[in-house]
Structure formats: C-alpha cells, structure tokens
Amino acid sequence: MNNLKKIVCGTASVIAVAVASSAALAADDVIIVTATKRATTLQETPVAVSVIGADDLRDSQIRDVRDLQLLAPSLTVVQQQSSSQTVFSIRGIGTSGNNAGLEPSVGVFVDGVYRSRQGAAINDFPTVERIEVLRGPQSTLYGRNTPAGVISIITKKPEFEIGADAEVTYGNYNQVIMKGSLTGPISENVAFRISGNVNKRDGFLDNVTTGEDVNDRDRWAVRGQLLIEPSDRVSIRLIGDYSKIDENCCAAPFFLNNPTNAFVLGTLLGGNILPAMPFDRQVAFNGPLLTQQETYGFSGEVNIDLGYAELTSISAYRDFDEANDIDSDFVDLPLSLVNQNRENYNTFTQELRLTSTGDNRLDWMVGAFYFNQNLTHDRTSTFGPTLRPFADLASGGAITSLETILVGFGAATPGSFLANGVGLDQELFTQDDESIAVFGTLDYHLTDDLTVTGGIRWESETKDVVSDVQVTGPFLALDLTNIPLLAFLPPAFGGPLPVGTFAGLSPFQFFPNPFANYSASRTDDEVSYLGRIAYDVSDNLNVYGSYSTGFKSGGFNLSAGSSVSTADFAPETTRSFEIGAKSSLFDGAMTVNVALFDQKITDFQANIFNGTSFDLTNAGERKIQGFEFETMINPFENFILTGAVTYLDADFTDFVRGSCFSSGFLDPLNLPASQVTCSPTIEDPANPGMTIANPAFTNTRDFSGLPDLGVPKVSAVATATWVIPMGELEGYVRGEYQYGAKFNAGGDQNPLKLVPSQSMLNASVGVGNPDQGWQLIGWIKNITDEEFAQGIFDSVAQPGSLNGYPNDPRTYGATVRLSF
C-alpha cells in the first residue's frame, strides 16, 4: 500500500481516490484524463473535472448515471415520469420537463460518441475504465448541448491477453445483478472484448389497487468490441451495443392531497384515495405504468499517427425507441385514460480531429463535426368517464353551468365538456435535425510554467418539423379568461356576467389552444469560444483562470399540452468566468483543489408543469455563482479521507414568465401588486363578496430579482477508505456521506414543494485475495433510511394537490467478484 499515496496525489477530484484494493495500484500509476481531448494527467489539466474510476464504481455500487451524484456533489440526476425521463444538472444548470423538443444541458458521451438523449445513457454501465464529469461550459470542444458540462464515459478497450471478470450481486427487494466481460486476442493484430449485464429488482412502491409492486428494475445490455492495430501508427476500434429496458415505472404518490379533491374522489365517487404519506411507499391507481426502451448503436474510431499530428475519426450510428404508458392521474378512478407516448430517434454523427503531437511551444487542434437526427414523437391522452363528474363536483357545478350557458347560445352541445374519450386524439411530430461545426484550439506555452489557451467553435444547426395534432372537445378550445357571450346572458339566467367568470376552471383545461398543424424550419448559427491562462506556480501548485461560453440548441415545442403562444424557442446561451487552483501538499499526502465560478444563462429554456400543461418558453436570464472545494488526506498508510463541497448562489435576474401556482394554492411570496397576475378573478370593488375577471391576469408570475430556489445552496460528499492487509487476503472498510441543502422541487417556486435538507450514509466492507482474483463485498445504501422527495409536481386534474417521486429506500446486499 505504499503506492496508495502515489496514485492519489495526482488527483484533482475527491471521488477518484477512494481505492478498494492495493492490488490495483502500481508504482507509476497516474490518473489520465481526456477532458481537453488530449491525454493529460488529471492534476495538470486546467479544467474543473471529476474522475470516477472503476474501483469507485464497483465499491460504491454505482449502477448507472443516476448514481453518480453520490460521489460528485456538483452533479444532480433526477428520474421523473419514466425510466428514461432523467434530468441531469451540473452547477444548477439542466433541462427540466417532458418535451421531446428540448435538448439536454449536460452532454453525455460514451467512448467519444454523443448520446443525443440522456434517456439513451441511463442503462447500467458496461465495463468502465473511468467516468469524467466536466463542470462548466464545454461547447468549444464538445459542441452543442453542453452549456452545463459533460459526462464522458470511457469503457475498457480490448486487450491482447486473455482476461475475464464476472460479478454477481443479490440484495433486498430481490435485486439480482450479473455482469461479465471476456477479452483476448483473435490474431496478432486483432483483439476482442465482449461484455454483458442484467439488472432486476422488485419495485419500491406497492400499488394497493392491483396488488403489484411498481418502480421496479428490469434491464439488460450486451456490448462487443474489436481492436485492430495493423501497424504501430494505426489503430481501429469498432463497437456495437444493444440494451433493453422493460420496467413498471414511475409511480408518484401524493405529497399533498387537497381535502376537496379527496372528498369528491373518495367519498362521492367511491375511489380509494390514499393519504399524503409518500414514504409509506404505497400508491393506488388503476391504469398501466410501463416503460419499454430499446437502444442500439455502432461506432468506429480510427487513430492515425502522422508523425507531426494524430488524425482521429469517430463515426457512429444510434437508434433509440421508447414506449411509455402511464396512468397520469395516479388515482384508481378513470379521470384520464392511458397516456401513451412513443418516441424514436436515429442519429448519425461524424467527428474528425487533427491534433498536434510532440513537445512543442505551440500545441494545436482542429476539427469538424457533423450531426444528423430523425425524431418521431407520437402521443395520445384522452379523458376517462370520471373526469367530468369530478370536475363538476370539485368546481361546485361550474362545468355544467358554463356548458348550459353556451348550449343556450348554440355554442356547445349537452354533455360535450370533458366527455369520456375526448382530449388529445393524436400528437404526432416528426423532426429532422442537421448540424455542422468546425472548431480549433491553440495552447501557447509562453514559458515552461505559463500557458495561454484559446479556442473557438462555429456551429450551424437546422431543424425541420411537421406537426399533426388532433384535440377534440369544445371546452379545451375556450379562452376561459374571455368568453364574450357571458356579457349577453339575460338576467333570467343570472346574467350578464363578467367575461372571465369561469377563468377558475383552467386547472381542468388540458391541451389549451393547441398550435394549428404546421410545417416549419429554423436555423441557428452559434459561435462558442474559450480563453484560459494556466500557471504552474511550483511542482505542487497549479492555478488557472478561464472565460468560456456554451449554448443549448433552440427548437420547436413538440407538445400540444403547452400554454404558451409560440411554437418555437431560441437557443440558450451560457457564459462563465472561472478561476481555480490545484495543489499537492506534504509529499502528496494531501491535495486541495478549489474552483470559483460566475455563470450567466441567457434565454434559458423553462419548461414547468402546472397540472394540465407545460409552460415552455425562453424565460430570461439566470445567474449562478459559487465555488467547489475538494480535498484528499492520506494521514497514514492504507487510509484515505476525501471530501468535496459545492456552494451555489442562484438568482433569476430576468424571468417575467414564471409559472403561477396551481389553483388552490395561496401566493406566499408577497409580490408587489403589479406582479400578482396569477389570479383569474378578483373581488368586485362595486359588489363586495362578488368576483370579477382580473384584468391583470396573465397566468404568469414575474420572478425577476428573486432567488432560484430550485438549486440547493450546498451539496457535499465525504468518503473514508481503510484497506486492511490480512496475510494473503486483503480487506477494506469504506464509508460514504452525502449532504444536500434544502431546495424547491417545483419550477413555480411553490413553498409547498420545498424539500428539506437531506443526508445519506452508505457503507461497504470487503475481503478478497488479489492473487487469486476473488472478492466478497457486503454493502448498504441509505443506512438511516433517509426520506425525501426528488421531485414534486402539481397533481394532474386535481388542483391544490401535489404528487412526487420519493427517494430510494434503504437497500443492502452482497457482491461476489471473480477475475483472471
């Protein structure tokens, strides 16, 4: 274990240093990263990057990208409506909501291949060498949709020596995980690797209506590689992979149940409405909950050493199919029928890079990138037979009253409002994306210790879309804030009435005013750039300062359920100032690394669910300032402590289209009267006790100048690892701690969606024989069974109620590993 210090002293990331087996270490081991698309040591790379090695992934039971946040405090990953509806955020910047037209803010790359949809990267990891989490805008080198950062997954290449490993895990909830990999030579110049995995588990929630468990795990994957080295100057790597998910996910229990809703649904309509006790982990709904996902791809990477430079070509094709059926009302009465969603993406990418080699005063890189994607989104969502009676009872008969009035004017037919089977009959979008980019970087070494870097990328992207949306039902087409016929209602029928009298029915108006079917195209040209100065103060201290920009693509709103008036939205741009320092102290026994940053996001794309539809718009400007602190301490042989803290201060500097709370919630923000535009009705000054339409009603709230409560101010992780020599055997004990400050889980800043601070403890203990290639590990995650919400949203068609996604309960199990 004398080598333990040597490997960890080169790290710039707390999560790269917790090592489970001294057999994995060698005297000359250093941590190599490719964050700058050059192979450099982690400590000398002037980029805020965390590295998670294969040992950490195994010992912390990191199964997929969602688990990475257990070790990287600047990264947040939240699973929502389905297994593939996963939101990635870095430093508080991410993409939220369910809309196929939105692009990610965090780019995910696997062996250099861009995964255009984050849902295509959530399956269990294959045989991984390391994962790099790059923080801050990365658009200059990595392109579109990386304004928050990049997750780069690097898998193990084929080897020219025969080797194999296998792993079997069994845990509570009948969790069974099996992984295996085999590598070796086919000929003198060709090697292979084939790997596969299976992951199954019972659900964390019980559906008391059907007797089934939900939110389960059922996925598998296989991956094959060939490494061809025809000469010392040429290498070719071919990869094919296939994965499948078939899960009952993701149910959302009540976090708040409006008493009126519960009384109407339960007492009057006979439903089994559970109390808002989400951590009883019970739900009651009568419809399906299905996520089926199939994805496959092929890639080829060619590297040619030209002497003065290396030429790299990465070509890839990927296909992603998903079927998602969900009972979106989450009750055991048919308020809505099945929400059926089908999506397909097929993508081709090509990257070419020419990178200078050798020890030069000027290092350079030039490259080009091509992206082509065909997207199909097809959804249906219609009303069930219980929606009309529920809405009528919950609104005091207002649905029938309005319908009767309009029938009298010949503007509606009896029984047509919220009728069984009407709604979104079809939501079909097809979209073709094509982009081209050229980029380059220069690293000029003014001295041996001082380097100035400049980079630029030009990218042009064109999106063509065709929509075919069919929404039925006259109630959905009404502008509830302005029904002119009400002003002509005869006194014998209670009129005349203000034209906005029925504006309070908006929580029952799904798919309001859908866009007319259209065919459209948009082209966006963006220039991203990077400037950086890095200085080696000494052999043990490096400092840097940088300015970088990034962008997320604009596009089209591929959802009929949106209450905004425009079908397209502009790109989101980010600019970031950052300074950092990386240090090694006490002969490598301690590292301390710090990054301070100031990020501004302009035209950020907000997509907030309000109970019946999503509000998707370019909302304005956000500002996020903060710092990251990471340290490693090796106080004595065989023992390592690590810690990392991220602090974020996020504000809306300009956000005039913030979402209002769902009907039934009070407005606790005490905003000025000019900003309170959420109430559709106000008291009539001339007739106290009566209401009239609010002339200021916009269904939006101005959040400008308010803090962004959706970003936790503090996130932290800490680990302790003790390796214990035991003769021919070797044991280890590892503990992990994770902390997150309170945050608001709803984009509308509703204080009822506030999630208190959370902390979790994980632990593992293992013993094995490195020479014989076996290891036995016992592990437990969330030891204290901490309970908190990962996301909270307005209940569908139930104003004043909230549903949400609880965190995973305590899990534990044992893992056996074999290798040779």
Residue whose entry in the numeric block shows the structure tokens 């037209």: 101
Q: Residue 473 and residue 336: Cα distance in Å, rounded? A: 14
Report the interhelical angle of 387-394 vs 398-408 (nearest 10°). Answer: 100
pLDDT value, residue 255: 94
Predicted confidence (pLDDT) at residue 26 exceeds the cutoff of 50 = no
Total residue count of the chain as it appears in this document:
820
Of 540, 589, 539, 582, residue with least CA distance to 5: 589
Of the pLDDT bands very low, low, confident and very high (cuts 50, 70, 90), residue 689 is low
State how far the alpha carbon of 198 is from the alpha carbons of 37, 228, 621, in Å: 32, 28, 43
For the cut 90, the answer to whether the pLDDT of residue 85 exceeds it is: no
Task: Determine the pLDDT at residue 683.
Answer: 67
Q: What is the dihedral of CA 555, 559, 316, 238, to 10 degrees?
A: 150
Pairing verdict, β 568-569 and 555-556: antiparallel
Q: Is the pLDDT of residue 12 over 50?
A: no
- pLDDT score, position 120: 60
* CA distances for 233 relative to 189, 202, 228, 302, angstroms: 12, 50, 11, 11
Would you say residue 692 has pLDDT above 50?
yes
CA dist., res. 678 & res. 690, Å (int): 18
| Model pLDDT, residue 565 | 56
- E strand segments, 705-773: 714-726, 729-740, 743-744, 754-755, 758-769
Dihedral sign (CA 500, 501, 504, 505) = negative
Angle of CA points 139, 142, 146, to nearest 5°: 55
**Residue that has been written with the tokens 């539809």 in this structure:** 613
**Residues 736/710, Cβ–Cβ less than 8 Å:** no
Confidence of residue 639 (pLDDT cuts 50, 70, 90): very high
| 657 CB-near residues (< 8 Å, 6+ apart) | 564, 606, 615, 617, 619, 620, 700
User: Residue 779 has what pLDDT?
Assistant: 96
Strand partners, 378: 342, 428
Q: CA-to-CA distance for 129 and 165, rounded, in angstroms? A: 14
Note if the bond before 660 is cis, omega within 30 degrees. no
The pLDDT of residue 30 is above 60: no
> Terminus-to-terminus CA distance in the chain, angstroms?
21
Q: 505 pLDDT exceeds 70?
A: yes
Q: What pLDDT score does 102 carry? A: 86
Q: Cis peptide before 496, with omega less than 30 degrees from 0?
A: yes
> Are 528 and 459 in contact, with CB atoms under 8 Å apart?
yes
- CA distances from residue 422 to 327, 407, 413, 472, 716 in whole angstroms, order as listed: 16, 18, 14, 5, 49
Cα–Cα distance, 790 to 276 (Å, whole number): 16
* Cα gap 604→551, rounded to integer Å: 10
Residue 433 pLDDT class (50, 70, 90 cuts): very high
CA pair distance 503, 799, nearest whole angstrom? 14
Q: What is the mean pLDDT of the chain?
A: 86
Alpha carbon separation from 559 to 269, 423, 508, 615 (Å, rounded): 31, 14, 18, 10
Nearest to 646 by CA among 13, 59, 55, 9: 13
- Is the confidence at residue 24, as pLDDT, over 60? no
Q: How many CB atoms lie within 10 A of CB 190?
A: 15
CA distance 543 to 535: 5
Q: What global pTM score does this model have?
A: 0.89
If one counts every other C-beta atom within 10 angstroms of the C-beta of residue 672, the result is 7
Residue with structure tokens 């780069």? 152
The torsion region of residue 716 among left (phi > 0), alpha (psi -120 to 50) and beta comes to beta
**pLDDT at residue 175, as a whole number:** 97
- How far apart CA 163 and CA 181 sit, in angstroms, is 8
pLDDT over 90 percentage in the chain: 53
Residue 663 has pLDDT above 60, yes or no: no
pLDDT tens per residue, range 126-144: 688 888 899 999 989 998 8
pLDDT of res. 662? 56
Q: Is the pLDDT of residue 276 over 50?
A: yes
Q: Are 16 and 52 in contact (CB under 8 A)?
A: yes
Per the CB < 8 A criterion, the answer to whether 511 and 423 are in contact is: yes
| % the chain with pLDDT above 70 | 88
Predicted confidence band of residue 747 (pLDDT cuts 50, 70, 90): confident
Radius of gyration for the chain, computed over Cα atoms and rounded to the nearest angstrom = 28
Q: How confident is the model at residue 79 (pLDDT cuts 50, 70, 90)?
A: confident
Task: Find the DSSP H helices in 100-240.
Answer: 139-142
Which pLDDT belongs to residue 674? 41
Confidence of residue 796 (pLDDT cuts 50, 70, 90): confident
- Label residue 164 exposed, middle or buried (CB < 10 Å: 0-12, 13-18, 19+): middle
| Confidence at residue 14, expressed as pLDDT on a 0 to 100 scale | 39
Spell out a b/e string for 198-224, using b for 16 or more CB atoms within 10 Å of the CB, else e.
bbbbbbbbbbebbeebbbbbbbbbbbe
Whether residue 87 contacts residue 78, with contact meaning beta carbons closer than 8 Å, is answered with yes
Domain segments of the chain as ranges: 3-819
Q: Which residue did the predictor score with more confidence, 139 or 36?
A: 139
Whether 811 and 98 have beta carbons less than 8 Å apart is answered as no
Per-residue pLDDT at 675: 44
How much is the pLDDT for 803?
A: 92
For residue 378, the tally of other CB atoms under 10 A from its CB is 17
| More confident position, 464 or 495 | 464
Q: Residue 271 corresponds to which tokens in the numbers above?
A: 């439903």
Asked if pLDDT for residue 178 goes beyond 80, the answer is yes
CA distance 511 to 513: 6
- Write out the H or E segment, with its range, that includes residue 405: helix 398-408
Helices and strands (H, E) in the chain, number of each type: 6, 48
Please work out, in degrees rounded to the nearest 5, the angle formed at the alpha carbon of residue 413 by the alpha carbons of 409 and 416.
135
**CA dist., res. 342 & res. 325, Å (int):** 9
Q: Which CATH number is 3-819 given?
A: 2.40.170.20
Is a pLDDT exceeding 90 seen at residue 735? yes
Give every CB contact of residue 761 below 8 A, 6+ residues apart in sequence.
Answer: 735, 736, 737, 782, 783, 784
The mean pLDDT value for 678-696 works out to 66
Cα–Cα distance measured from residue 611 to residue 276, given in angstroms and rounded to the nearest whole number: 17
Taking a C-beta distance cutoff of 8 angstroms, is the pair 811, 175 a contact? yes
What is the torsion angle, in degrees rounded to the nearest 10, for the CA atoms of residue 275, residue 281, residue 284 and residue 288? 150
Q: Report pLDDT for 678.
A: 66
In this structure, the number of other CB atoms found within 10 A of the CB of residue 711 comes to: 23
Handedness of CA 392, 393, 397, 400 (dihedral sign): positive
What letters, b where the CB count within 10 A reaches 16 and e where it falls short, cover 602-611? bbbbbbbbbb
Kindly tell me if the per-residue pLDDT of 529 is higher than 60. Answer: yes
Out of 47-61, 329-343, 396-410, 695-709, pick the least confident: 695-709
**For range 335-361, the mean pLDDT:** 91
Check residue 693 and give its pLDDT. Answer: 62
In the 8-state DSSP scheme, what is residue 817?
E
Burial class of residue 732 (count of CB atoms within 10 Å of its CB; 0-12, 13-18, 19+): buried
Q: Report the distance separating Cα 548 and Cα 146, nearest Å.
A: 12
